[in-house]
Amino acid sequence: MRTRKWGMVLPLMWLVAAMPAGAQFEVAGRKVQVHGFFSQGFVLTDQNNFLTMKSSAGSFAFTDGGMNISTKLTNKFRVGAQAYARNIGELSNGRVELDWAYGDYRFNDWLGIRAGKVKSTMGLYNDTQDMEFLHAFALLPQSVYPTDLRASNIAHRGGDIYGDVHVKKAGTFSYVFYGGLRSDDPRGGYRYGLTDGGIPVVGSLDGYRIGGDVRWATPLEGLLVGATAVRARTELTARLEAAGGLPLFIQTPGSMSLRYYGEYQTGGLKVAAEYGRDYSVIEFTPRVVAPAQIDTRGWYVSGSYKFHPRFEAGAYRGQYVYDARVSRSLPDNHIDDTALVARFNVKGYWNVKVEGHFMDGYGNRAGARSFYARPNPQGLVPRTNMLILRTGVNF
């Protein structure tokens, strides 16, 4: 059934992708804009299967696409929405979801509000991570932007207050403060990882997210620095399979996520760096499992250069550490990733990327990320090399 469902979505995505670069028409005298994107990838690893794909044998199960529509109802009030679907190994399975949908009222440069299902600003690229055509890389650094947790991190159901403050000779300060209910993905990596650990989720995953981001476009043209802080609560009910399916209520009373980042662009050069920390205390009811503390860290440094309008090359080095209180040298507590990419812009709306990854560790200590136990029944090995071929179109 899932395969048949996805088989209906893909031709639709290709049809959307074949449309001219940006469709615009009028309804009742108002301009309506329609945009979309689609990407298809092939992943091959020499060892561990990656992101639940059968990548050690080569996998084409790396597909996503979306379409959005927006219009201005007045000079200050805009509404829009986006539908999104993806199939990555055993994740998502082509489930079409409402990625975002909100109304946005901009009073002036320094004050605006939006409400609905809103993309969460967290670090440099969280709210644009699905738009592969905006980035040089086929896969953003997984140390900070895990693809398997995308749907859990990308949006909240609530509202934002935002604005830009222009300071003469000091650049521009942009801010956003937001709050709302967190997103749940019934076929995403968060649930998949819990099931992998023997505690499958029963019912919905609930909680809230409150955060803020401040970034500074400095007087040095092209240099941006910023920081994000997010406090969140997660609640869910699971079954403890080791205790015969005992119902287990799990909550994180107040996890904290921090991001510090910088980006510099000049000419064809773009360099970026980001550091993230996610700290949480996990409580279980009944207390058949002791409370746990997790201090996760992640960072990367990246660079790319556009040698020609049709060719760009880049690289990044990143590290993910599941729990910084435990030795980072353990293969089940870290993933070090070095990536090299070549991007070819065949047309303004069509790109092809060839990317190589050299990974050490598999970061599977009491919680999966990228590498899971079920797709690797033979066990996980410390080192993995990976090739990604990805092509995308957008309009």
Asked if residues 115 and 84 have their Cβ atoms less than 8 Å apart, the reply is: no
What the block records as the tokens of 285 is 């009811």
pLDDT at 394: 94
**Distance, CA of 395 to CA of 350 (rounded, Å):** 9
Q: 3-class SS at 55?
A: helix
- What distances in angstroms separate CA 133 from CA 77, 93, 187, 223, 316, one per listed residue? 28, 22, 25, 22, 17
CB-count exposure of residue 111 (10 Å: 0-12, 13-18, 19+): middle
pLDDT at 183: 83
Q: Where are the beta strands (DSSP E) in the chain?
A: 23-27, 30-45, 59-72, 77-88, 97-108, 111-119, 155-167, 171-182, 201-217, 223-240, 246-266, 269-285, 292-308, 311-321, 334-347, 350-360, 383-394
pLDDT tens for residues 371-381?
Answer: 999 999 999 99
Asked if residues 253 and 278 have their Cβ atoms less than 8 Å apart, the reply is: no
Percent of the residues in the chain that have a pLDDT greater than 90, as a whole number:
72
Residues near 262 by Cβ (< 8 Å), separated by ≥ 6? 223, 224, 225, 226, 272, 273, 274
pLDDT tens for residues 77-86?
Answer: 999 999 999 9
**Distance, CA of 308 to CA of 215 (rounded, Å):** 30
pLDDT at 367: 64
**Distance, CA of 387 to CA of 356 (rounded, Å):** 5
Asked if residues 71 and 78 have their Cβ atoms less than 8 Å apart, the reply is: yes
pLDDT at 190: 86
What the block records as the tokens of 227 is 């920081």
pLDDT at 186: 84
Phi-psi label, residue 370: left if phi above 0, alpha if psi -120 to 50, beta otherwise: left
Residues near 282 by Cβ (< 8 Å), separated by ≥ 6? 250, 251, 252, 291, 292, 293, 294
* φ/ψ of residue 187, rounded to 5: -125, 30
- For residue 348, the cross-strand partners are none
CB-count exposure of residue 114 (10 Å: 0-12, 13-18, 19+): buried
Chain centre distance of CA 49: 20
pLDDT at 366: 63
Q: What is the dihedral of CA 110, 113, 118, 123, to 10 degrees?
A: 20
Q: What is the mean pLDDT of the chain?
A: 90
Tell me which residue of 184, 187, 161 sits closest to 174, measured CA to CA: 161
Residues near 4 by Cβ (< 8 Å), separated by ≥ 6? none
Asked if residues 74 and 107 have their Cβ atoms less than 8 Å apart, the reply is: no
CATH superfamily of 2-394: Porin (2.40.160.10)
Task: Sketch the domain layout of the chain as residue ranges.
Answer: 2-394
Residues near 231 by Cβ (< 8 Å), separated by ≥ 6? 209, 210, 211, 254, 255, 256, 257
- What distances in angstroms separate CA 294 from CA 210, 218, 238, 319, 350, one per listed residue? 20, 35, 19, 16, 41
Q: What is the pLDDT along the chain (395 residues), one digit of tens a residue?
A: 444 444 444 544 454 444 445 577 777 778 899 999 999 999 999 989 999 999 999 999 999 999 999 999 999 999 999 999 999 999 988 889 899 999 999 999 999 999 999 999 999 999 999 889 999 999 999 999 999 988 888 899 999 999 999 998 999 999 999 999 988 888 888 889 888 888 888 888 889 999 999 999 999 999 999 999 999 999 999 888 878 888 989 999 889 999 999 999 999 999 999 999 999 999 989 888 788 899 999 999 999 999 999 999 999 999 999 999 999 889 999 999 999 999 999 999 999 999 999 999 998 766 678 999 999 999 999 999 999 999 999 98
